[in-house]
Structure 1
């Protein structure tokens, strides 16, 4: 079954498949227009992110381990 979605910018029908380079947008123009609206803060996430949630030392250690294992940016040259 082929999934068809509407372009969020112009409402044109887009087939959702790997060859649809700009999905869910129909073209690069619509993709850039949407990006511009986010940059201009015309779009925003409506629910604020809670900032009062505590992060434990265990959570920080797990995140640090994940970054060190999966990110080559921090690898020292040989």
Structure 2
């Protein structure tokens, strides 16, 4: 099995990764939203900013 981050051979202690570094890189991707599963729920589609309502304008 190879590490999903760098492709090196895995180490049992960090499996499925080869090192703590690659495990931490993967964790960071999860935490910052790089890995995301798209939602098909209607309320999520409304919250993504593609609403038909005009933006409120603030005075300058």
TM bucket (normalised to shorter chain) is 0.5 to 0.7
Higher relative contact order (CA 8 A, sep 6+): 2
Gaps of 5+ in 1: 51-78
Runs of 4+ in 1 over 3 A off after TM superposition: none
Note the aligned Cα RMSD (angstroms).
1.9
Higher strand share: 1
The count of aligned residue pairs is 41
Q: Which runs of 5+ in 2 are unaligned?
A: 42-60
Q: Which of 4, 16, 27 matches 1:8?
A: 4
Pairs within 5 Å for 1:1-78: 5-14=1-10, 20-46=12-38, 48=39
TM-score by length of 1: 0.45
* TM-score scaled by length of structure 2: 0.57
